[in-house]
Amino acid sequence: MKKIHTFFFSLLCLVLFQSPLLAEEMKVGFSQLSGLIEMNEDSGKPTGALVEYWQKIAKRMGVSIKWIGPIPPARLIMYIKNHNIDAISVASKNTEREMIGIFPAKPIFLKKPVVCLRKDVNIQKIETWADLEPLAKIGVIHGHRLAHNIAKEFPQLRLAMIKDRDLVNFSLSKLADGELDGFIYPGRTGIMESIKKLGLGDSIDVLDAPVPAIPYYAFFSRQRMDLAEKYNKHHDDVKF
């Protein structure tokens, strides 16, 4: 009888204390985005506002997160297309992406793009992308909707597609060294933090881009409709 009691007590402990560890694991891919999600060198794990957001909403969804990355944005899209990951932490929407994955009904946030320029460049305001025509080389994030739209509408601009894993620091360093004449980035907050960290505040200006704010969404694999539905259900429960 004592053995039976011991068995049931052990079984009860297993159910009570180990069941959270058995929660479904959601593989979320990410790129390093200054001010949003960055690798912590000490822990080897991503940190930032976007990580905190996903941890909160994953708890509501009843899943745990396995972070995959950092991976360049264009390659993340291929991972979604090939179902190598369940979701991307944040992505802008376009027709091509809507065909290969699932965007939730509402975005995580909206960001107005900016253009980073060296202070010695004689541009004070950007009213149209054509104002950047004097620049010899303008960095844009490979795979981002801005890169696609600008290349299509203003083919005269000399764009350099940035694919580096550490997009922001790489691009700002190239800009400061003169290897780039401009760098287009999705949002002001993150870029200002990086400029400050790199000590480039005296040499780089940040101007508003001539486009409206862009909505950014979670992005799910088409094989994980179940996760997309759970996310939609709890979207309004968690504020970014």
Residue 86: C-alpha distances to residues 40, 57, 171, 220, 222 (Å) = 23, 15, 29, 6, 9
Asked if 89 and 164 sit in the same domain, the reply is no
Asked if 117 and 207 sit in the same domain, the reply is yes
Q: Rounded CA gap, 34 and 16, in Å?
A: 39
Contact 240, 218 (CB under 8 A): no
Single-letter amino acid code for the residue at 200 = L
**CATH number, domain containing residue 123:** 3.40.190.10
Contact 171, 183 (CB under 8 A): yes
Give the pLDDT confidence score for residue 44 in this predicted structure: 87
Residue 237: C-alpha distances to residues 28, 55, 90, 102 (Å) = 20, 13, 18, 20
Asked if 117 and 69 sit in the same domain, the reply is no
Classified as helix, coil or strand, 139 is: strand
> Residue 46 — left, alpha, or beta (φ > 0 → left; ψ -120 to 50 → alpha)?
beta
User: Which tokens in the block code for residue 34?
Assistant: 């200054």
Classified as helix, coil or strand, 202 is: coil
User: Which tokens in the block code for residue 20?
Assistant: 């959270």
Asked if 95 and 156 sit in the same domain, the reply is no
Average pLDDT of the residues in 80-85: 97
Asked if 228 and 177 sit in the same domain, the reply is no
Helix H or strand E segment including 110: strand 109-111
Task: Kindly report the backbone phi and psi dihedral angles of residue 139, in degrees, each rounded to the nearest multiple of 5, phi listed first.
Answer: -80, 135
150 falls within a domain: yes
Q: Rounded CA gap, 208 and 112, in Å?
A: 7
Give the pLDDT confidence score for residue 221 in this predicted structure: 98
Per-residue confidence band for 32, with pLDDT thresholds at 50, 70 and 90: confident
For the cut 50, the answer to whether the pLDDT of residue 19 exceeds it is: no
Contact 92, 149 (CB under 8 A): no
11 falls within a domain: no
Q: How many CB atoms lie within 10 A of CB 15?
A: 8
Q: Rounded CA gap, 100 and 47, in Å?
A: 28
Asked if 90 and 120 sit in the same domain, the reply is no
Please give the tally of structural domains in the chain.
Answer: 2
**What does the pLDDT look like over 179-233, one tens digit per residue?**
999 999 988 878 888 899 899 999 999 999 999 999 999 999 999 999 999 999 9
Per-residue confidence band for 23, with pLDDT thresholds at 50, 70 and 90: confident
Domain that holds residue 98: 19-109+216-237
Within 13 Å and on the Cβ side, how many CA atoms surround 230? Answer: 17
**Number of residues that this document lists for the chain:** 240
State what percent of residues in the chain have pLDDT above 70. Answer: 91
Give the pLDDT confidence score for residue 179 in this predicted structure: 95
| Whole-model pTM over 0.85 | no
**What does the pLDDT look like over 92-121, one tens digit per residue?**
998 999 999 999 999 999 999 999 999 988
Q: Rounded CA gap, 212 and 46, in Å?
A: 29
